[in-house]
A = this chain, B = another copy of it.
Amino acid sequence: MKLLSMKEMNMKDKFFSEYMQLIRNHVIPYQWEALNDRIEGAEPSYCMQNFKVASGKIQGKFMGMVFQDSDAYKWLEAVGYCLMWNPDKELEEIADGAIDDICAAQQPDGYLNTYYIIGGLDKRFTNLKDHHELYCLGHMIEAAVVYYQATGKRKFMDTAIRYVDCVNSIFGAEAGKLHGYPGHEVIEMALVRLYEVTKDEKHLRLAKYFIDERGKQPLYFESETIINQNNFHWKDSYFKFQYYQAGREVRQQEKAEGHAVRAVYLYSGMAAVANETGDESLIRACERLWDNITNKQMYITGAIGASRYGESFTFDYDLPNDTIYAETCAAVGLIFFARRMFELTKDSKYMNVLERVLFNGAISGMSLDGTKFFYVNPLEVVPEASEKDEQKRHVKVERQKWFGCACCPPNIARLLSSIGSYAYTETDECFFMNLYIGGDITTTIHGQNVELHVETNYPWDGAVKISFNQKEEAEFCYAIRIPDWCRKYVIALNGEEIQTDLVKGYVYLHRKWKNGDTITCDFNMEIILNQANPKVREDIGKAAISRGPLIYCLEEADNGNNLHRIYIKKDTKFTEQFEKDLLKGIVTLTCDGEKLVDSNWNEEVLYQIYQDPIFEKKTLKWIPYYSWANRNPGEMLVWVRTKV
């Protein structure tokens, strides 16, 4: 299965095109300034400076975090995607210059990590657990592959390959090699991407090695800690080496544990390798971990990672809404994992989650003007608690400007600048429409030219129209995902309704497609009251509202404060309205609710004999979750109390 390249698409999507433009016009230029320490008032990044020091172009010390190199790579990956759908000579020249600076630092044996080049190569690969060395290489590979795909230029990719060769000569299961693996995963999936381009088995084997070796006894990280006489930071934690998903072999892992971003990056790599090798035990492990996350550890927004401590998963059904971590990067990582699982299975259940994450817990990470970012994406916020309670201080009320060490902003950037590739994938026989994103698509399926036009106002409207502009007929299967949130839908071919069974959640339309053929989909977007499994303690007696793929929330700006005191009834009637001037244009929902008042309470009394609570009627206004915190800071709430 192949993701459509962004080169094959001319995105004309009302919803995503604006995000893509933001990434291209604001995020990427801003980050370039940041990487070069030219943002006034911001902590310097030192990222590009480190490369210049490492190559001897300038004198200096290594500065910044040990994984500072990766910021340049993430930026280059986003640039690569942008260049695919929007060739831009000026940007490409800047990127080429950055690549020159990076490549100049490469050592004769291929090694390329500025922290150790500057600080002492004798220490390289001695702290895999914490020093993100292989993590940086992973991001380098991902960027290099995308940049090659975008521009056809091999310099960066060849540099990455030389570094991979270097790593290959040092790491492996063979005697005499280091039996190590990364503390922060990403290289596994990166190597599969490299293999997809190079078809060099070495690259796949190295990815497979890192996965197979992980967690084997004796534990590499344990030995490394002893040799280095390092403190093991997580020794008193519950997860211990599972913080790194390295407490046991990956095929023995039953539940998603530890650092959430690392976890989903690893699982993505596992699924990517399994996809190439067909390794059944690895596929089972991926399915088990997927099911554990999505059936037991995922917020309704698709967010993952319940605890700030270790930015980690906690345990099944533990989903606090207010002390939550829910890192933007983890949401993006879950999208990577979903994509790979879909490739393995062609099952819409993965794309259903991908859509849920994308439209809620992922894009919530960026402000609507592209200038500010959330690391933490809560489902419940009270500003005073975020200010005064240390357990909630990480839960910010406002997105932060992107300074210094920054993982989430570039992750959002690379996701959104390549979003079309998640929407459309193809096999030799079949074209999959996974997400409904408007634009023109020009591709080839089984040697046949295909030209499509997709028109939609998704996610505000469930109507999607696909028109074929075929010079010649093309025979293939057009597969349409029926979203899990949709209970009523109509698929019509040239105006005629199609009745067909779903196969793993997709409608398959096989045909010789000819010019003028149209498919219309109408996904009925009803407003749904959702409830959580009663095992989720935090959500008992509450409901969350959704419409189509969007989860909704209440914000103080529309509903006043004390949102916790709001109740809705099961049979509440909603009205919906597209407000084009609100939050860049959103469908808002309005309904009747009730609010617990304290007019019968003396402010000076904390406890009294139980009396029937007094409620007042209140009109509630809901906005899509992703759009919260784009006005004055205030309370926000997703799960609202229900009157039984």
CB-defined contacts of A598 to chain B, threshold 8 Å: 533-535
- Return A546 CB to nearest CB of chain B, in Å: 9
CB-defined contacts of A178 to chain B, threshold 8 Å: none
Select A389's contact among B298, B318, B544, beta carbons within 8 Å: B318
A570 within 8 A of partner (CB): yes
Q: Are B606 and A384 in contact (CB under 8 A)?
A: no
A237 CA to B564 CA, complexed, in Å: 26
**Would you list which residues of chain A between 318 and 352 have a CB under 8 Å from chain B?**
318, 323
Per-residue B-contact encoding for A364-401, CB less than 8 Å = 1, 0 else: 00000000000000000010110111110100000000
- Of all chain B residues, the one with the shortest Cβ separation from A309 is B390
A499 within 8 A of partner (CB): no
Q: Are A613 and B238 in contact (CB under 8 A)?
A: no
CB-defined contacts of A603 to chain B, threshold 8 Å: 295, 533
Select A528's contact among B385, B532, B537, B609, beta carbons within 8 Å: B609
Q: Are A530 and B318 in contact (CB under 8 A)?
A: no
A166 within 8 A of partner (CB): no
A2 within 8 A of partner (CB): no
Q: Are A570 and B537 in contact (CB under 8 A)?
A: no
A529 within 8 A of partner (CB): yes
- Return A10 CB to nearest CB of chain B, in Å: 36
- Return A383 CB to nearest CB of chain B, in Å: 11
Copies of this chain = 2
Q: Are A391 and B307 in contact (CB under 8 A)?
A: yes
A543 within 8 A of partner (CB): yes
Select A610's contact among B306, B308, B529, beta carbons within 8 Å: B529
Known: A291-B604, A385-B318. A531 touches B391 (CB 8 A): no
Known: A314-B389, A389-B318, A391-B323. A533 touches B607 (CB 8 A): yes
A237 CA to B298 CA, complexed, in Å: 30
Q: Are B238 and A388 in contact (CB under 8 A)?
A: yes
A562 CA to B540 CA, complexed, in Å: 11
Q: Are A607 and B532 in contact (CB under 8 A)?
A: yes
Q: Are A607 and B300 in contact (CB under 8 A)?
A: yes
Q: Are B565 and A534 in contact (CB under 8 A)?
A: yes
A17 within 8 A of partner (CB): no
CB-defined contacts of A606 to chain B, threshold 8 Å: 294-296, 298, 300, 532-533, 536
Please name 14 pairs of A and B residues whose Cβ atoms are closer than 8 Å in the assembled complex, sorted by A.
A238-B387, A238-B390, A296-B606, A309-B389, A315-B389, A529-B610, A531-B607, A533-B606, A534-B562, A534-B613, A535-B601, A540-B641, A543-B610, A544-B607
Q: Assuming A314-B385, A541-B613, what are 5 further A-B pairs, CB within 8 angstroms?
A: A306-B389, A315-B384, A315-B385, A529-B610, A534-B565
